[in-house]
Amino acid sequence: MATFISVPLKKSSEVDLVKPLSKFVTSSFPAGEEQGEYVRAVEELNKLRKNALGRPLDKHESSLEILLRYYDQLCAVEPKFPFSENQLCLTFTWKDAFDKGSLFGGSVKLALASLGYEKTCVLFNAAALASQVASEQNLDSDEGLKAAAKYYQLASGAFGHIKDTVLSALNREPTMDISPETVGTLSLIMLAQAQEVFFLKATSDKMKDAVIAKLANQAADFYGDAFKQCQYKDNLPKEVLPVLAAKHCIMQANAELHQSILAKQKKRFGEEIARLQHAAELVKTVASRYDEYVSVKDLSDKINRALTAAKKDNDFIYHDRVPEVKDLEHIGKAALVKATAITPPLSQKFTDLFEKMVPMAVQQSMTIYNQRKTDTVNRLVGSMREATNLCNGVLASLNLPAALEDLSGDSIPQSIAEKARSIVQQGGLQSIEQLIKDLPELLTRNREILDESLKMLDDEETTDNELRTKFNQRWSRTASGDLYKPLRAEGTNFRNVLDKAVHADQVVRDRYGTHCDMIALLCKPEDELNAAIPSANPTKTLQGSEVVNVLRSQLNQLDEMKKERESLEGEVKAVTFDMSTTFLTALAQDGAINEEQLSLSQLDQLYGAYNQRVQVTLRTQEELLGQVQTSHQEFSSLKQSNTEANQREEVLKKLASAHDSYVEISNNLREGTKFYNDLTEILLKFQNKCSDIVFARKTERDELLKELQQSIAREPSAPNFNVPAYQSTPAAGPTPAPRTQPPAKPLPPARPPPPSFTPQAASTTPTNTPPTGPPTNNPPPVAPASQAQGPPYPTYQGYPGYFQMPMGYNPYAYGQYNMPNMGYMPYQATPGQGGYPAAPPAGQPYPGYPQQPPQQQPYYPQQ
């Protein structure tokens, strides 16, 4: 009786995890100890997969532990890597465990770029192996019973978990073995077997019969539910259904047996006999129908002995009335089993190989946070630099401080000389021209990388569309156009960035062209610079005047403010804070990260004080510039105004402005060079991403093409045709097919007696007496009631004496009885001729029997 159902394991193709995962690690994490640790963890993960899936596993707890550990590692690694078709693309291929796939219903093998698919299949294997380990336990010992119950409940929970998650994990039709219907049935079967183990445990412990009866009745209920789920489906092996039916009857018989003992104890002898009779009928049904799968000899003997004794006692002593089965009180149920909840980690002493790596949700939040932080820093620094440029522009327009230093009228102002030396030290015109010359090359390189990346996507998408047009619905993978949308959006963003950069480069070039002559003048030796500046009448009388002193004091305050801004800019750039801890805490507590709220709150704490200081410097500059303009008006009114003085002041203004423009242009060009170099690295990563996904798509395409070729090869070359009724289930007497009018052929002689067999009903009419005429009608087929298996065969009035034909007997295959030895010629059927789907019309002679008119046309059409 101890026949338990175990599930076969799925088989997987080899997958190289090292190359794509290591590539992601090296591109996402800076070189160093942390990166090396993650690369080693990737190698360990690849070894773990090979141990779990790359070799046959023993039916032992240690093998199950390896599978569970790999499943736990997949669960742990899933949130830490961007596994998807358009990012980190890994294609996993698995075969159907039951090999029930066909061209029109399911697929024998399925390849998907989905870690959820890998998790589902690994968990299926864990459940299958748990069922096998449980079936190997020694059920004669307490330890074996406990272990079997434990593993059956684990298998039930795993199958149930797959049922709830498989569709969301795959986002497409799964193979038959992991479909919700199949795994739901398997979960019920495992739960029923766990309940049966508890029944066996209670029986071995000799618990009360009332308890044992309830346990058995509950197991019968579980088996019945499982039987109903797969009764009309072809998703499980054909051996499962009869085993479930047999187990349902057996457990119900056990429940009745133990309940009969309870009835006997309560002196309900009629009820005892009724329950034993019902149990005997159930066991008899199993023995007659399912003896091939389950043996019930011991149970049958036990029930029959108890029934014989009970009847004997009741007949001679008690004379209690035996009630009908339907009138018996229902037996209670006691479910002691529960499907194990699948909550990783499932393995013992599990350690995450990537424990230090933060989840992708945290990584993405960190990326957005860093962008917010960069924007905040750029906004603060940009506002200070903009204010400083405005201040320099105002002072240059007023020719300050050169106007205060140029009271002699014939020498180079000190500020102009210092600015000239500064430009020469920074490389002068050559430095700027070289930077301007490098920009187009950097731009071209970036454009080529972007164009090549998008071309790879275009070529693969074109191929995919051509194959989709060719195979139509059979080309079932995700369309490349839909898959590449995020990458194309990213590429469009890069192209827009490059276009803006080109515009910014042109602005810098135009500004350089405007100030190029004056910058070149500042690069000349001091004597040439002095000669190029027009002379003017001295204004030495203004030296020491109050307005000059006030103006110098105001300019000194502006210089101090600029130095303070430079220091403040350094402080703002130096602010650091690790937000990963905050995000990890939020993820652990809430299961999600409200990045915007957390980031804005933290940035306000970090930069709120700096923002206030920046605003103070802006207000201070505004007040000082207003005072400087007022003082400069008083200074200008005191100076002697003439043409030479105006020309000299205009040149000095241009020289000051040229210096400021040189500094800004140099900074802009250096920033542009850095921008293009940084963008090159980003575009190379984008190119690698496009290359990886295109390679994965090509691999997937080749696999799918191979499957389609095999499917096409299995397709029938001719259209389907209807099978004649007599070759399947003969529900009615045969009817001649529509006939043509071919030349007359001699009819076959009368049929000889069939080979020897044991008829269950024999007629007294001699078997060698043929009918004298055609039968007037054919009665509906009647199957013998005692025949347990095999299709029913009809009984014909025109051929009495053979009420039940043997299995496989063909009334038209005359040649099988060696008829030439009897003087008959074997009948040769016309090739391709169909059979007789139904009974002949009323009054129509039945084919195959001797007929009165020898000119009767044969029923087979001639070709």
* Distance from C-alpha of 781 to C-alpha of 796, rounded to nearest angstrom: 8
Using an 8 Å Cβ cutoff, are 191 and 222 in contact? yes
Mean pLDDT of 100-116: 67
* Distance from C-alpha of 219 to C-alpha of 312, rounded to nearest angstrom: 31
Q: How many C-beta atoms lie closer than 10 Å to residue 217's C-beta?
A: 23
Percentage of the residues of the chain whose pLDDT score is greater than 90: 35
Nearest to 450 by CA among 488, 415, 479, 484: 488
pLDDT given for residue 717 in this prediction: 61
Contact residues for 167 (Cβ-Cβ < 8 A; gap 6+): 174, 180
Per-residue pLDDT tens for 728-761?
544 343 433 343 344 444 555 554 554 444 434 3
pLDDT at 805 over 70: no
| Alpha-carbon distances, residue 772 vs 283, 305, 846 (angstroms) | 49, 56, 13
Q: What is the DSSP letter of 83?
A: B
First-to-final CA distance of the chain: 57
Phi-psi sector, 695: left (phi>0), alpha (psi -120 to 50), beta: alpha
Contact residues for 318 (Cβ-Cβ < 8 A; gap 6+): 269
Q: Which spans in 472-541 are helix H?
A: 480-483, 485-522, 526-532
Rounded mean pLDDT of the chain? Answer: 80
Per-residue pLDDT tens for 120-178?
999 999 999 999 999 999 999 999 999 999 999 999 999 999 999 998 888 778 888 99
421 versus 76: which is more confidently predicted? 76
User: Which stretch of DSSP H or E encloses residue 393?
Assistant: helix 360-397
Q: How many C-beta atoms lie closer than 10 Å to residue 767's C-beta?
A: 14
Contact residues for 510 (Cβ-Cβ < 8 A; gap 6+): none
Q: What is the DSSP letter of 744?
A: P
User: Which stretch of DSSP H or E encloses residue 697?
Assistant: helix 643-714
Q: How many C-beta atoms lie closer than 10 Å to residue 122's C-beta?
A: 26
pLDDT at 23 over 80: yes
pLDDT given for residue 66 in this prediction: 94
Nearest 5°: the CA angle 504, 507, 508 is: 90
Using an 8 Å Cβ cutoff, are 783 and 770 in contact? no
726 versus 123: which is more confidently predicted? 123
pLDDT at 721 over 70: no
Using an 8 Å Cβ cutoff, are 679 and 450 in contact? no
Q: How many C-beta atoms lie closer than 10 Å to residue 87's C-beta?
A: 16
* Distance from C-alpha of 647 to C-alpha of 602, rounded to nearest angstrom: 55
pLDDT at 764 over 50: no
- For 845, list phi and psi in degrees, rounded to 5: -65, 145
Nearest 5°: the CA angle 51, 56, 58 is: 95
Q: Are strands 109-112 and 92-95 parallel, antiparallel or unpaired?
A: antiparallel
Tokens of 150: 């434990």
Q: Is the pTM of this model over 0.85?
A: no
